Structure 1
Amino acid sequence: MIVSELNYRVPSFAAHATKLRKSIQSFSGTTPNTYTRGPSATTATEKFAGAINLPDGDILFPPYGKGNIGLYSPLTQTYRDGPETPGSARFRGGVLHADTGLVILAPMLSPQVGIYDTRTGQFRLGASVGANFGSAGAIVSSVTGKVIFVPRSSPYLWIYDPVLDTVIQGPAHGASGTPFFSGAEELPDGRILLIPYSAGTFKIYNPRTGTITNGPSGVASAGFYGSAKLFTGDVVCAPYSSNVISIYRWESNTLFNVACPTGGAKFRGAALTPDGRVMFCPNNYDKVGWLDPSKLAYGEGETIGLGTTDKWMGIIQASNGEMILAPHTVEHVGRVQAVSAGASPRSSMLSIQWNKG
């Protein structure tokens, strides 16, 4: 697929889907799902929000209240502070824009876009977006090569060009319940699915036509917090206050629901495991949860022992196959050994299809 504005080739979803399908189908290990306390990231409250794989194997934690980029090495199992960020800059998630080597951080309470350069290890502020921009994440469009900011408090979609460092207003999404959305996934045909938090309805942005249409509705308020995509292209939504895990079937524009524990603020974020499950990042819930799409069933690990307070905010599969939890209010990085050995294809985990947090 050629991105006309930038004239570079984006590997198709189908290519990555085939790699993932073969990797999952050949998995023959066990699934211990063991939680381990990782290294300290200091005691600052509301430290990070999200997790993004870097080309060198490290994982980047976007700063929310910490005042610096967070960096975790799966190889050495160590944490280190990255470059400082302005005290007023709070970000919520981000995405690796592979062609430029830039990690674009979504401005939650930052007046400017955040930019981490993977080639130099330096941070800088980008285009101005104004106060209270309220983005809840970012995703790269394989159609345009541009970054789409997930609207949390804005009535509009916003589109960022990392080459020109410009932000333009996109179409109005028409949702009514705020905060509106908590994440996004690119579908196999290039359209982008917005995951409702309190919007009540899924919305679908078509970057070819610049329009937004409705998806399934009837989602509970504060229902979902993030998502992960299966190799089929279907999308699994992480239950926050919802008592079901919704699977968005992209070919039919319908939902399939799987029961999960009741209660609010359970999970914040989701990521694919090497054996094909979708694992959920525990927030107030004191266990790691997951969906097994082969059985359409929810499962969970042992009690972690941290109670019902806020814990982590963001999860990602590391280069060694471990699932890494981004520390938000807890002091330490979380590590979950989802499988006994192995990892998903690295090129897929670094691709714009799966590498966002």
Structure 2
Amino acid sequence: MRISSYSRFSTSALAHLSSVRKTVDEAVSSDLVYTDGPAHGLDYDEAFVGAVELPDGRVLLSAYSGRQWAIYDPTENSLTNIATQSGSSRYNFGCLALNGLAVFAPRLASTVKYFDWRTNSFGEVTAVGGYDGAVALKNGKVLLVPRTAAYLGIFDPVNKTFSLSSVANPNALSAGCLLPDGRVIMVSWLSSDQPVYIYDPNTDTMETGPYIGAGPWAGACLTKTGDVVITPYSGNGLRIYRPQDGSFYERERDDFLGTGKCRGNGKLLPDGRIVFPPYNYGAVPVYDPVADTVESIDIGISGGTAQFAGAFSLPDGSVGLVPFDAGKIVIVSGTTSGKLSDAWRQGIFNNCN
């Protein structure tokens, strides 16, 4: 590993590890294991992009080219198609709003889609497309992260309204995660050297953070220590951004994924390790922020082709992978005993995109 030489914000590995180790893990780690979940049975590739964890333990997968909305039930290990998306509309990722609605970002669609798990019913609100993620804000609204849309989008799940923020899209953004203070970290999909962006919904303003290197970057995950681990798509390695002081720590690509790509926010295991959804990587990469180590688990799927796009947390602490071309859900777990911490539960909300 090395420390970034192209930003005054970069921090040392020693400082990074010292900060991380202040947190005591409450869960007991074990070897990583995986189980095959159900196949989706669709005739389309690019089936789903992202998913939302519902309060009753089920998971709703977001319709992409497969044009099906599907619910995964972990108690029955079943995947059921519940609705067909008409036309060529596609949705990228979503979140659970504070009022309980699952809200999905319109990527190639002209409506925001929402789902009420209490009635198993969908609704939609006229909007504009070009969004690549949704983040539930502490004020009850949902931030839509713009990839090609001109402005950040705001969806009000209570009044069922869509509006545009006054903040213009700075650089083809991709995904985001909520910070404990209510701000949102977003990353860029562009391949040139890009900064992180920090949106403040209280003031409807955007701040530019440190430049973290050439992307694209494809997600972010808030750790138990308050650091943000950024998902590399074609980005040059792994980045850990520290909002507390604006610094970041860097791992080289050959120390993480080789030439592999990930897509979507990382998801926390209860012991604090982070599972990344492998897009064209032949194994599931897992980062341990305490030991500053990366391991991977072979799930029997060849690399080189698009496999998963997004991940979701399950009530037992395991992490599910959303099938893009993979054809099936895969479940990864790595905790055998111990309390599921409040930090882990909060992480489901912060990293819901």
Question: Aligning the two structures, in what range does the TM-score lie when normalised by the shorter sequence?
Answer: 0.7 to 0.9
Q: Deviations over 1:63-109 (max 9, x none)?
A: 1122221111111211111233323321101111132x211111011
Separation in 2 of the partners of 1:240 and 1:291?
A: 15
Separation in 2 of the partners of 1:63 and 1:228?
A: 23
Separation in 2 of the partners of 1:350 and 1:188?
A: 9
Q: Equivalences for 1:176-195 in 2 at 5 Å? A: 176=171, 180-195=172-187
- Corresponding pairs, count: 327
Shift of 1:258: 2.2
Q: Equivalences for 1:128-277 in 2 at 5 Å? A: 128-130=126-128, 133-142=129-138, 144-173=139-168, 175-176=170-171, 180-198=172-190, 200-222=194-216, 224-259=217-252, 260-263=256-259, 265-277=261-273
Alpha carbons 1:227, 1:269 under 8 Å: kept:
yes
Pair 53,244 (structure 1): closer, same or farther in 2 beyond 3 Å = same
Shift of 1:181: 1.5
Give the corresponding residue for 2:312.
316
Q: Deviations over 1:31-65 (max 9, x none)?
A: x2122222110132111111211111111111112
Pair 342,182 (structure 1): closer, same or farther in 2 beyond 3 Å = farther
| SS of alignment partner, residue 49 of structure 2 | coil
Pair 23,39 (structure 1): closer, same or farther in 2 beyond 3 Å = farther
Separation in 1 of the partners of 2:91 and 2:339?
A: 28
Separation in 1 of the partners of 2:131 and 2:168?
A: 14
Give the corresponding residue for 2:77.
77
| Comparing 103-112 and 298-307, the one that deviates more | 298-307
Pair 194,40 (structure 1): closer, same or farther in 2 beyond 3 Å = same
Shift of 1:114: 0.4
Separation in 2 of the partners of 1:307 and 1:319?
A: 29
Shift of 1:28: 2.6
Letter in 1 for 2:82: G
Identity across the alignment (%): 30
Letter in 2 for 1:237: I
| Comparing 292-301 and 271-280, the one that deviates more | 292-301
| Comparing 240-249 and 255-264, the one that deviates more | 255-264
Letter in 1 for 2:63: P
TM-score, length-scaled by structure 2: 0.85
| SS of alignment partner, residue 86 of structure 2 | coil
Shift of 1:24: 6.4
Pair 311,342 (structure 1): closer, same or farther in 2 beyond 3 Å = farther
Q: Deviations over 1:168-188 (max 9, x none)?
A: 211334624xxx121111222
**Is 1:103 equivalent to 2:102 in the alignment?**
yes
Alpha carbons 1:246, 1:257 under 8 Å: kept:
yes
Separation in 2 of the partners of 1:122 and 1:272?
A: 29
Separation in 1 of the partners of 2:318 and 2:127?
A: 35
Give the corresponding residue for 2:274.
278
| SS of alignment partner, residue 164 of structure 1 | coil
Give the corresponding residue for 1:306.
302
| SS of alignment partner, residue 35 of structure 1 | strand
Unaligned 5+ residue runs, structure 1? 1-20
| SS of alignment partner, residue 251 of structure 2 | strand
Q: Deviations over 1:180-205 (max 9, x none)?
A: 12111122221111122217121111
| SS of alignment partner, residue 269 of structure 1 | coil
Letter in 1 for 2:32: N
Give the corresponding residue for 2:38.
39
| SS of alignment partner, residue 281 of structure 1 | coil
Shift of 1:161: 1.0
Unaligned 5+ residue runs, structure 2? 1-20
Q: Deviations over 1:285-336 (max 9, x none)?
A: 1011011110122221236332321111111221122210111112111111
Letter in 1 for 2:224: F
Greater than 6 Å deviation, 4+ residue runs: 21-24
Separation in 2 of the partners of 1:63 and 1:173?
A: 27
